[in-house]
Amino acid sequence: MSLVGSDFAAKITNKAAGALPRFFLVPLIFLLISIRFYLKLSKYSSKRAANSPIKGKSDTLIYEHIQLPNGLKTLVIHDHTAETASATISFNFGSFLDPPEYPGLAHFLEHLLFMGTEKYRDEAEYVSFISENSGSCNAETSGEYTLYHFSIKADFLEPALDRFSQFFTAPLFSASCVGKEIDAIDSEFLIHRQHDFQRYRHVRAFLTNLSHPFHNFLVANKATLTGKDGGNIRDEVISFYRNHYSADRMSLVVVGKEPIADLIKLVKDKFPNVPGSLQPFDCYWKHISRAVEENLGSIIWVKTLQLTRTIEFVWQIPDQMPLYMSKPASFLAGIIGHDGDGGYFDVWERF
């Protein structure tokens, strides 16, 4: 039974007619219809096989999903017109797994992986190779995921992927680089501290549940990485890497102009030695509310450094990870945030 049917929509609309200005009714009805559509889409998406990409009729790309013996899930994509090749690896964890003694450790580890491997020992080699061949590379550590990616001229996919794969097979974690990257992380923190968005994010974290890892300091600086117990930060990084950087917690996407069979062979050649078969970790935060009851319904004023004025409304909603196929929150945000005629943004501008 649909949660948002025509009878329900009619009742809501009739009640709203007496309480809302007329120009709110059309967006409200559209929103209710959209929710109903999205609920049906969620059911449809959940029935699809995980390895069956949804293709448009004009999509000429060729997709193939494989899983290596070590558990690495990979999607290879053949694009015969590609001038640029690329690869992305994501892990299903991030800073929420930071050890309490070293806030920001996951972010720090992300930095260190760029600083040389057993096969390519020069700490600048990877970034230099990518940039010299008209490419770019970066990484991101969020609370619940960690992402590494690069793009490069299509002809250089194989050597780039060889360098990239070494991150997850044999990183150096040299002591000299550890010290330099602590300074780099601290400089990054000092810069971010001057950005109003980052300051606002920390205010939000401060107001959340103490038991939820979102409340913690996740970005790292020199103070958090030196630790309170005088421990060796390099040993902590290596321990975190060995405990969590497992092939069965990774997903890889590779895009290139090579035939699909060649791309599959490339993946099998480059990633067989990534360790796998670790025990699944407990995402304990999934069962903990971020919100603190007494903070709900509050107005929080944040003093900005820049001459900007912003208003934000924040709601606690259910975890969206299980709904990644249908993305209801993004769908509804697109409707509410639409700035065309008759949209909510258009209405607010008239006030």
Locate 129 and state its tokens.
């190779």
Residue type, 119: K
Helices 6-19 and 25-47: angle between axes, nearest 10 degrees: 150
Of 64, 83, 101, 110, the catalytic one is: 110
Compute the distance between CA of residue 147 and CA of residue 151 in angstroms, rounded to an integer. Answer: 14
Q: Which residues pair with 255 in a beta bridge?
A: 77, 86
Residues 91, 100: Cα–Cα separation, whole Å: 20
Cβ proximity of 102 and 218 under 8 Å: no
On the CB side of 15, CA atoms within 13 Å amount to: 5
Give the C-alpha distances (Å, rounded to integers) separating 118 from 10, 125, 150, 165, 171: 66, 12, 20, 11, 6
| Residue 110 bears catalytic tag | yes
State the Cα–Cα distance between residues 186 and 233, nearest whole angstrom: 15
Q: Which are the catalytic amino acids? A: 110
